[in-house]
Chain A
């Protein structure tokens, strides 16, 4: 996979980049802890790691305010953390425990934190595109200056919601940012093999939604593209689309060894992984190695503690299974 060299801007905002580095490490460490939990059979359903894609979560979400809306996919841990969700509650959710973001009723694929505007990961590919279009619609109806963002994969562009949702956002000129994480794969299939035409950006452009392509492993490039897009949206410019090229360094799920791709390809992709790339930029700018190593260490310590907390947390009481079904009717009717 040809990966362009990191574009180093002349005036580096070192503090901003240090904060990106710290957050990318928190996401990486969270997911490594989640993979550990999976190995120990404490994660119950499927988890989809975003290892190698952290720059997109961080670069996009650092341009969103707390009251901006985000919706995500099955591969949503990074997005959720970057939007500001609490790692402890998230890990409890992955383990199906009380105190999880959804009281253990959603799990990894339904991670959500409405307090920080994160309207949920989604188990249905592309479904979050409509939800974001609708959130943007609500924002406009309420006359607010917020933005709704949805992040989805390259596989999602072959489902109807990509057409319907982007068209919707365009015809109503809604404050919506669509971000496609183009990691080359949809599950075990190379997305290009199942995608007609020149790809996501051209499809969006055909609907009148301005699109840009960025190196999704370069957090500075993603940050810059998202900054421009969000500024245009907030200025009333209607929806924008970003395609961020990246590579999925793990299997599709924690259980997928990904034998369908050559080891060389994966090794090569690891050489371009986003955290090391940013660390290099920071080192070149004079940041001490100890500072950068400290980010990794702090992140691992935090997530080790988060994992320990989740392991010790109780299961949700059975009564949770009947809560939040709906107001009308008795959900226990006909219960065992």
Chain B
């Protein structure tokens, strides 16, 4: 175990995978100088500019070329800089990467990782703050990963690089500096296995990415009031660990889903609907979703804060769920 940041853990994962497999390479704007968030710092010195490759400001070409390179036997890790900019490459990801294996009848494999730094961070406003992970869960063929801790950012990125299918990998910008214990060496975290961030008997709070930490803080507050919330970190949204959520709901009888993304049509709706379909008899109270209102993200801090799913808002909603039964 070593203590390191979320950003350093991702870098360690990439470096270890690049040492292990010469066909792994990374490409994106400004990578030669360490990337915009420093998550590639020092890598070009070790691996050279062919494998830590700069790119023109051509998001569609970055992703599209990565699809071609993945189909031709390499394992590209592409850096999209901000999840928002990946929208310039929607065709390449959705129509090409996600479809090739199926539409060519299994002839193609697209072992590709698309890193998309997501979320609200330092007044970045409407075009640099979005949480779009739910969109990608709608697309057959894609794996969707949302790590919330340094350890998971290492283990899941390693698993993503080893995946033979395309992975959309969301790192939350607000967590780059988050420190935590990270296992040494070759440890991967499998897709579709949730992590219980905190145990509890009264209420299940399902979350992922940075909101897991808000939910855990809320649970601590609630514990002081005699409410024991169980916090489940999904880690990956596709596949997602339904069994872990079902088991927790069977124990607590109450479900809340909390995420930073817009609530309408967010992945929380999928979790809520699935639990409603499968766990009706276990439920003691209506399922609750907590996400952002359906407005673009504003620049001014008070307006930005208004949209945040905070520990206080989670705790308040949790009290309401518990008091309903």
Q: Which residues of A come within 8 Å of B, CB atoms?
A: 69, 71, 100-106, 110, 112-115, 119-120, 122-124, 127, 129-142, 148, 160-161, 163-165, 167-168, 171-172, 323-331
Q: How far is B66's CA from A123's CA once the two chains are assembled, in angstroms?
A: 18
**Looking at the complex, which one of A103, A120, A131 makes contact with B106 (CB distance below 8 Å)?**
A103
Q: How far is B108's CA from A148's CA once the two chains are assembled, in angstroms?
A: 16
Report chain A residues within 8 Å CB of B53: 172
Report chain A residues within 8 Å CB of B107: 101-102, 112-115
Q: How far is B165's CA from A331's CA once the two chains are assembled, in angstroms?
A: 14
Given A127-B91, A161-B61: A326 and B105 interface contact (C-beta under 8 Å)? no
Report chain A residues within 8 Å CB of B55: 168
Tally inter-chain residue pairs, CB-CB below 8 A.
Answer: 166
Q: How far is B73's CA from A140's CA once the two chains are assembled, in angstroms?
A: 12
**6 A-B pairs whose Cβ atoms sit less than 8 Å apart in the complex:** A110-B104, A112-B108, A138-B72, A138-B74, A164-B60, A323-B102
Q: How far is B91's CA from A122's CA once the two chains are assembled, in angstroms?
A: 12
Output the nearest chain A residue to B104 by Cβ-Cβ distance. A112
> Is B126 part of the contact surface with A, judged by Cβ < 8 Å?
no
Chain B nearest Cβ from A111, distance in angstroms: 9
B140 touches A331 (CB 8 A): yes
Report chain A residues within 8 Å CB of B96: 122, 124, 127, 130-131
> Is B192 part of the contact surface with A, judged by Cβ < 8 Å?
yes
Q: How large is the interface on B (under 10, 10 to 19, 20 to 34, 35 or more residues)?
A: 35 or more
B140 touches A114 (CB 8 A): no
Report chain B residues within 8 Å CB of A69: 72
> Is B184 part of the contact surface with A, judged by Cβ < 8 Å?
no
> Is B95 part of the contact surface with A, judged by Cβ < 8 Å?
yes
Chain A nearest Cβ from B266, distance in angstroms: 18
> Is B13 part of the contact surface with A, judged by Cβ < 8 Å?
no
> Is B7 part of the contact surface with A, judged by Cβ < 8 Å?
no
Chain A nearest Cβ from B163, distance in angstroms: 7
> Is B67 part of the contact surface with A, judged by Cβ < 8 Å?
yes
Output the nearest chain B residue to A160 by Cβ-Cβ distance. B60
Q: How far is B140's CA from A134's CA once the two chains are assembled, in angstroms?
A: 23
A120 touches B108 (CB 8 A): yes
Chain A nearest Cβ from B67, distance in angstroms: 6
A326 touches B68 (CB 8 A): no
Q: How far is B239's CA from A91's CA once the two chains are assembled, in angstroms?
A: 36
A168 touches B101 (CB 8 A): no
Report chain A residues within 8 Å CB of B72: 69, 119, 134-135, 138-139, 148
Given A124-B95, A141-B25: A164 and B105 interface contact (C-beta under 8 Å)? no
Q: How far is B53's CA from A172's CA once the two chains are assembled, in angstroms?
A: 10
Output the nearest chain B residue to A168 by Cβ-Cβ distance. B61
Report chain A residues within 8 Å CB of B267: none
Q: How far is B96's CA from A327's CA once the two chains are assembled, in angstroms?
A: 17
CB contact list, B51-68 vs A, under 8 A: 51, 53, 55-56, 58, 60-61, 63-68
> Is B136 part of the contact surface with A, judged by Cβ < 8 Å?
no
Q: How far is B101's CA from A115's CA once the two chains are assembled, in angstroms?
A: 14
CB contact list, B24-80 vs A, under 8 A: 25, 50-51, 53, 55-56, 58, 60-61, 63-74, 76
Report chain B residues within 8 Å CB of A139: 72
Chain A CB within 10 A, most for which of B50, B69, B76, B106: B69
Q: How far is B106's CA from A324's CA once the two chains are assembled, in angstroms?
A: 5
